[in-house]
Structure 1
Amino acid sequence: MDNLENMLSGMRKEILEKVGEYFILSQEKGVVVPKPYVKYVWRVWDQNEIKAAISSVLEQKITYGNIAKEFENEFSRFLDTRYTIYVNSGSSANLIAVSSLKSRMFGDTIKSDDERYQIIRDGDEVITPAATFPTTSNVLLINNLLPVFVDIELGTYNMNPKDIESAITDKTRLIMLPHTLGNPNDMDPILEIAKKNKIFLIEDACDSLGSEYKGKKLGTFGDMGSFSFYLSHHISTGEGGAVVTKNSELKRVLDSMRDWGRDCWCEPYKSNTCGKRFEWQLGDLPFGYDHKYTYSNIGFNLKPLDLQAAIGLEQIKKLPNIIIKKRRENFKKLYEGLKNFEEFLILPKSIEGADPCWFSVPLTVRDEKVFSRNDIVNYLAENEIETRPFFAGNIIKQPGYKGAKYRIHHRLENTDKAMFGTFFIGCHPGLNDEMINYVLDKFKNYFNKL
């Protein structure tokens, strides 16, 4: 047996060494990063992420298990929060976060800090911006809630706390708060508004990993925070996401929602943790019905893979000194260069106390009579510089929202301005000084011809 173990260990070591060599050679050949020349996003992987994924497969650790639990612990440690619930996407994170607030697992109330709030019911109102990504607001409609769409401010691209407060009615039960492109909201007044009105707060921090407000990381202020680990985000596990919370009750519900709605809380590959697996009586089931197959929530199967978590563990190691540091440096270089063109563009801005780790650099055309967003993004595309529009623009203008039930709070003037005039360029760690200077030169050339 010892000889076999030594043989397998040697083969595994050799395979991983070859994987590392392959990655390095593929980089030199240039097959990893395709055109366009300056992408708006790119993952920050090296041979360690590839080797971690292959190692997981060799050890046959594929589905959600111990590696995923380790990732959850490390992610919680990075954010300085209590619990992380790892899921298969940021969209799934938003889905179970909102769905958990309708759960009756703990009766008609759920703990929020030191108080208990009424659970959310069908028809309750949720305040959220209209300039958004679809799965921030889609989860509200899926849960039979009424989105109350609020305008944004140009520059920060977040909601003004005064607009949030004025949108509240006696039906308001939740604020769904995206930190747009990694830019922190004004959390002090928003937290005060939520607490005063006994309203739940979910931070959509999918674009905001590493961003801080007054020294505290985004996603950890509200009842829950959601994150995405898709290819384009600060760390990438290919696909993936997470919900974080300090609340043990919500943690229990979130685990259940992710795992088919199970009442059982056993860890992966464990059974009978409670010591009375066949001694429960819940709902209208007969006494003794298997607790592992008892479902107290209308849940889903949204588990990620251990393989993805293995990649995520390597990504977390890169967060402080590579990913966050480089994003901030690249944003600053682009921002300083683009200041020369403020006559034509509204540049991004942050509030006092905010320390963003920007997802990208948002830019808004000041006067569409001079040039349009389509004019400049087509010019940039011709010069191999990738851009993206401002998410879904005004979400209620999307074809999927025809016939949807929602309420508009006042006018969505800036939302429409962003829909027509806002785009963003990348500031990811894959950009080097040559690429940044190239981007700034192309902007300069464009504006010099106007």
Structure 2
Amino acid sequence: MSDYRNVILEAVRKYHQETEPGTAFEPGVTEIWPSGAVLNEDDRVALVEAALDLRIAAGPSSRRFESSFARRLKRRKAHLVNSGSSANLLAVSALTSHLLEDRRLRPGDEVVTVAAGFPTTVNPILQNGLVPVFTDVELGTYNTTPERVAEAIGPRTKAIMIAHALGNPFQVEEIAALADEHGLFLIEDNCDAVGSLYRGQLTGTFGDLSTVSFYPAHHLTMGEGGCVLTSNLALARIVESLRDWGRDCWCEPGENNRCLKRFDYQMGTLPEGYDHKYIFSHVGYNLKATDLQAALGLTQLARLDEFIEARRRNWRQLREGLDGVPHLILPRATEDSEPSWFGFALTVEPDAPYTRAALVDFLEARGIGTRRLFAGNLTRHPAYIGTEHRISGDLTNSDIITEHTFWIGVYPGLGTEMLDYVIASVREFVAAHTRAAH
């Protein structure tokens, strides 16, 4: 039987080699995506191998990935889930657990965040009956500041939840110190920033909890998938319960009696000896991933350093190539940081002789993919109009981002020729419009 297996897997490698499209770049024809998965024959083989074993639920690959990923990101525990959005939902929901006693977040408590971001950083706040407090960000870094966060903290503020924008760390050490000073929880949305460093320390290691996404646009992919990480074992236990239907039992799937007292519990008003596998201590979900996803995650994880370096190299090429282009605000790394970049943000100055829309149309017509800086100012979207929230200060820069900002790709699938073409295209457009204005 093992011979058949080896034959199949070797055939998969050959299939990949024979069918993988060529890498020749043809300007204006080859599409330059802003993001995407970078997959090789090891990834394809890993998926087929997991399929041959019929590992259709969470199992050994999931546990191996959790252990490896936690070590790589220097956290004690990692819990694999079905998406980065679910990871954020679990991270916030964990802070509402009765097991936290007096520190638990209750409906009406506030969570400081930013207005210019992705909805799933904010949605779990609302979904748990909490109140988001929106702060503005800086142009260039696209992150908020410790000063803005400090001003946003009020009597009912109990937590801070912020994403590292496009892989660029916010001043997380200072904001973690603020959280500690005020007795607040800190959640780092690290979905766009795996491998980023702030003052030499990995992002995702400053907060009580951090989250990661494995959607194809991100640093590692499982197709779908995400992760919640923490070094707080009490929080880890809560996250696991919430992920796994809210059950109190901590047996792995297929295990029956890890605690050796499965029929000895009495909890709630249940009868003595009720089966611990069916005692529920949280109102939870089923947000687990599968071994098929984890198998892909393991082969991707082996290439993480390669991916991070490619993203940094591509960002540097764009930054150097576009330096000095009139009326464009170029991105900059937060001071004392070394980002693992997700994208390259460009903001057209409001008084420029051309518009963001015109530049985006020009690039898209040339096959150069662009994306908005996510939601821009979230408070202006239909979903959030009428929801309970508070705005700290003004959202001037978030509004500028809404009108004038977009980003282009730096992901590892982009080569030097492609980025040279992007640079030349931006410069050509700006030069033509600047001449016309004069």
TM class by shorter chain equals over 0.9
Give every structure 1 segment of 4 or more consecutive aligned residues whose post-TM-superposition deviation is greater than 6 Å: none
Q: How many angstroms does 1:36 deviate by? A: 5.8
SS of the counterpart of 2:324?
Answer: helix
- Separation (CA, whole Å) in 1 of partners of 2:20 and 2:125: 43
Residue in 2 aligned with 1:439? Answer: 422
Contact 1:395/1:401 (CA < 8 Å) preserved in 2? yes
| Cα offsets for 1:386-445 (capped at 9, x unmatched) | 000010111111111122111111110000000000100000111111101111111111
Q: Is the 8 A contact 2:327 2:352 kept in 1?
A: no
Name the residue aligned to 1:307. 292
Q: 1:301 to 1:368 in 2, by over 3 A?
A: farther
Matched, 1:189 2:184: no
Mapped contact 1:66–1:268 kept (Cα < 8 A): no
Match of 1:9 among 2, 14, 17: 2
Whether the aligned pair in 1 keeps the contact of 2:173 and 2:206 (CA below 8 Å) is no
- Taking the TM superposition and a 5 Å limit, the aligned residue runs for 1:337-348 are 337-341=321-325, 343-348=326-331
- Code of the aligned partner of 1:11: Y
Say whether residues 1:323 and 2:288 are aligned partners.
Answer: no
Structure 1 residues 403 and 353 mapped into 2: Cα distance closer, same or farther (>3 Å)? same
Say which is worse superposed, 302-311 or 13-22, in terms of deviation. Answer: 13-22
Deviations 1:305-355 (A, max 9, x none): 1000000000110011x10111111110011001131x2211111222100
Q: TM-score, normalised by structure 1?
A: 0.93
Q: 2-side partners of 1:99 and 1:74: how far apart?
A: 25
1:358 matches 2:351: no
Matches within 5 A, 1:390-429: 390-429=373-412
- Tell me, yes or no, if the aligned pair for 2:43 and 2:296 is still in contact at 8 Å: yes
Separation in structure 2 between the aligned mates of residue 107 and residue 49 of structure 1, nearest angstrom? 40
CA distance in 1: counterparts of 2:59 and 2:81, whole angstroms: 12
- Aligned-residue Cα RMSD (Å) equals 1.3
Look up the match of 2:125. Answer: 140
Does residue 1:92 correspond to 2:86, yes or no? Answer: yes
**In structure 2, C-alpha distance between the alignment counterparts of 1:340 and 1:383, rounded to whole Å:** 22
Deviation at 1:187, TM superposition (A): 2.0
Equivalent pairs counted in the alignment come to: 429
Residue deviations 1:164-189 (CA, integer Å, cap 9, x gap): 00111110000001100100111232
Cα deviation, 1:243-295, whole Å, max 9, x if unaligned, reads 11000000100000100001000122111111111111111111111110111
What is the distance in 2 between the residues matched to 1:367 and 1:262? 53
Q: Which runs of 5+ in 1 are unaligned?
A: 1-7, 110-117
Paired residues for 1:169-248 under 5 Å: 169-248=154-233
Instruction: Select 1:161's aligned residue among 115, 130, 146.
Output: 146
- Which secondary structure state, in structure 1, belongs to the residue aligned with residue 187 of structure 2? strand
Q: 1 CA distance for matches of 2:267 and 2:193?
A: 40
Q: TM-score, normalised by structure 2?
A: 0.96
Give the drift of 1:29: 6.1
Find the counterpart in structure 2 of residue 66 from structure 1. 60
Cα distance, 1:28 vs. partner? 3.5
Shift of 1:370: 1.4
What are structure 2's unaligned runs of at least 5 residues?
A: 24-28, 434-438
Structure 1 counterpart of 2:128, one-letter code: N
- What percent identity do the matched residue pairs reach? 44
Output the amino acid matched with 2:308.
I
Match of 2:101 among 105, 108, 122: 108
Per mean C-alpha deviation after superposition, the further-off stretch among 346-355 and 256-265 is 346-355
